[in-house]
Amino acid sequence: MFHALHAVRTVGRVKVRCASGFILWLALAMAPFTASAAPPGTIRVMAIGDSLTNGYPLTPAISYRKKLGESLTAAGISFDYVGGRDENPADPEHDLAHEGNIGAKVESMMGGAAWQQYRPNIILLMGGTNDFREVEASGSFSRIRDVVDIFVLADMIAKINADYQSDGGKVEIFVSSIPPMGYATVDGSSRLTATMLERLRAILGNPAYPVQETSFTATFNRFLSRIGLTPDLHDIFQRADTDGAAGLSEAETEQALKWLGEYIINKYIGDYNNKIRTLAVTHRNVHFVDAGAALTLADFNDGTHPATQAAYDKMAPAWFAALSAFVNSLPRYWVGETGDWADQYNWAFAPDGVGGAGQPVRGDAYLRQHDALDRIVTRSAGASELFMSRLEIDALGSGTMTLRSRQAMSVLLIVAGAAGQGHVDHHAGSTITVPNIVLGSEPGSSGSYRLADAGSLLKSGNVEAGFAGAGSFVQEGGTNDLLRQLILGFATSGTGSYRLEDGTLSANQEFIGLHGKGHFVQNGGVNRVEYKSYTAGNVSGTLSIASEPGGQGTYSMLGGTLEAVRIANFGTFDFRGGTVRAQFQNDGELRLHGSLALTGSLAQAAGGRLYIEDALAGWSTAALHVTETASFAGPIIVNLAAGAAPQLGQAFEILTATAGLDEELPSMVRLPLLPGKLMARAAVAGNALAVRIDTVRCEDVELVRQSVGQAGAFLPADVNRDGIVNVRDVAAIAKKLPTGTVCGR
């Protein structure tokens, strides 16, 4: 009988003790680990980092390492912590050696290069907290941005890999996100938090107390909008106002500034963690661990370090999940044509190897092809239960590669289209659990995911469609339950799309066009963006459209229901039908082709534009109805519906807000040029903005005449909307005067 393990080299193995007491030997990788002083089959693990890896300020300083070690031992994984800093090295069972150095920045970790001496097989890396802590922010935020942009951690990964490659060695690097950072509840603060507070005080100036919300939000909106930050200033103000009196006292203002500072700091930390996440996509031996997300500001006294061992232990499960998934398995490669996942002869231990390795259950699996054949791999009733670390579907030839899943599986990462093309067809009421999905990983690649049929369930942490290539997600039914983020168009070269036809999509955050291009089309179903987990910057429940510099995003809504805590639109929101419930912040284009009943509020910034398309049609006039407040600092552009023939004296209600509208709002409205002698005029009455059909008057002609020479977008006197007021506009408006009208000067 063919035995799968005979097909590979068996040098450098992992010893696994099962509950029954038997010792199993599994090859850890296709290339063996380098030799070490540890017992055969023992994995040498080095934890590299700063005080968070060390365990400061607790005694003994054991951080997450002891809890992680206990979990690894319970799983039967033989390991040895190595490093120059030891905790009780005389007792091997509790040896907690490490390289966690208090106050260390990433550059000093890289300079120490402890891996060169101890040659670990696995490195656990968490770094960057001190790079942020030591930033001087009182003069500018550019130095905080530098920590994200320079990203020394990538250089460290490159150095580790170069050192190992120089002598033919192999290493697996598990790199973690860093925790959020805040203000101390006891004495002491970091340079960053202290100087951040100084900076925010300086921006606010010397206010008269109590500080009013309008003054507070206006001051910081002007400043933060220039650097692309969009905190919920209303929420910060309301949370700080604890005494019940109008406005903020001096102490309350200080607290509000601290919360604003935490938002800014953790927004940059969130960007930094997103870049850490990319390391796992761009390096095959790098694995992302979201251990930092296990901690919240409530776990700290000093704003940075866990105050209890229980808090430190919260990071261990994330490390264990990633580590155990890797060390307990071998990669498998599909070598068959179209066929069944459960057929052992469709799998080999090496690319283009000999089949017979058996279906994958743990570790990595690669569905690849290099020819012109179209292959479909079907997971049906005969497939084993999966708990894998990585599943990659990639057609590098002219054919296609599709995974058709009818059976439950759990995978840490699914990549469809790594360098070529890959497709996932998820249906038949099956459940797939996967913390991370990447569709279209590299430039030039493309990946797609189809979710269909009632009862089909996708439970994921992050879905990135169009990471650096092209990615698309089509949902025709079932439930897509995202604990964290949906990102369409991650990198500048990425293009991502999502089409929701039926079923339910729920996420903690959605980014439509993060740094690349994103397009979401909703024809039906429910899209719910809600608080599910803590997010740095307190932006859980936010649908963001083109919110980052360079991002291009469009949300096209034709039906269904959209529910979000907040919508931050810096791109295009195109509405043609459906239901929307959200606090809507518009700093881009909001286009209405139908009547939108917005359950929530609308705040349009100076950069935002509301387009009332298909307006002034008697049979169906586009309009916006807001159940709460509606405020406008940017224009409202009204466009005439095709075939519309408004009549003199008609009035069309185009905007209502339950809380009322500013009487000066008509000055923000840009109305279309009507045929014949008619003219549209806007006016506010109570809680409604209406457009009334009137005739042209002499004062209308005079207004245009006095505006000749003005140039720019959305000018009230630009009759023909060509961006400049000139004699053509004067002639156009004068031509519409009622016959026989004579205007004097």
Given this model, what pLDDT does residue 6 score?
Answer: 25
Confidence of residue 432 (pLDDT cuts 50, 70, 90): very high
Give per-residue pLDDT as tens, 242-261: 988 889 999 999 999 999 99
Confidence of residue 601 (pLDDT cuts 50, 70, 90): very high
- Whether the predicted pLDDT of 233 surpasses 70: yes
Given this model, what pLDDT does residue 745 score?
Answer: 57
User: How far is the C-alpha of 700 from the C-alpha of 70, rounded, in Å?
Assistant: 81
Assign 80 to helix, strand or coil. strand
- Whether the predicted pLDDT of 12 surpasses 70: no
DSSP string, 343-402: -GGGEESSTT--S-S----SSEEEEEE-SS--EEEEE-TTSPP-EEEEEEEEE-SSS-EE
The third-level CATH classification (topology) of the domain covering 43-200+284-325 is Rossmann fold (3.40.50)
Give per-residue pLDDT as tens, 59-85: 889 999 999 999 988 876 778 899 988
Assign 408 to helix, strand or coil. coil
Backbone angles phi, psi at 512, to 5 degrees: -100, 100
Distances (CA, A) of 305 to 58, 270, 611, 640: 10, 18, 49, 60
From the list 445, 386, 435, 432, the residue with the least C-alpha distance to 413 is 435
Check: CB of residue 704 under 8 Å from CB of residue 679.
no
Given this model, what pLDDT does residue 328 score?
Answer: 60
User: How far is the C-alpha of 711 from the C-alpha of 719, rounded, in Å?
Assistant: 12
- For the chain, which residues make up each domain, given as ranges? 43-200+284-325, 611-693, 696-710+722-744
Sequence letter at residue 191: R
User: Which range in 217-226, 320-329, 480-489, 670-679 is most confidently predicted, on average pLDDT?
Assistant: 480-489
- Average pLDDT of the chain is 87
Confidence of residue 187 (pLDDT cuts 50, 70, 90): low
Strands 446-451 and 409-416: unpaired
Give per-residue pLDDT as tens, 697-735: 888 788 888 888 888 877 777 788 888 988 887 788 788
Given this model, what pLDDT does residue 453 score?
Answer: 93
Given this model, what pLDDT does residue 721 score?
Answer: 80
245 class by beta-carbon count within 10 Å (0-12 exposed, 13-18 middle, 19+ buried):
exposed
Assign 4 to helix, strand or coil. helix
Confidence of residue 40 (pLDDT cuts 50, 70, 90): very low
Given this model, what pLDDT does residue 32 score?
Answer: 36
User: How far is the C-alpha of 273 from the C-alpha of 484, rounded, in Å?
Assistant: 13
| Span 254-274, average pLDDT | 95
- Whether the predicted pLDDT of 37 surpasses 60: no
| Span 321-345, average pLDDT | 86
Given this model, what pLDDT does residue 207 score?
Answer: 92
- Whether the predicted pLDDT of 86 surpasses 80: no
Sequence letter at residue 563: E
Sequence letter at residue 84: G
| Span 21-41, average pLDDT | 35
- Whether the predicted pLDDT of 92 surpasses 80: no
Distance of CA 584 to the CA centre of its chain: 18
- Whether the predicted pLDDT of 23 surpasses 90: no
Give per-residue pLDDT as tens, 629-670: 999 999 999 998 888 888 888 889 999 999 999 988 988 899
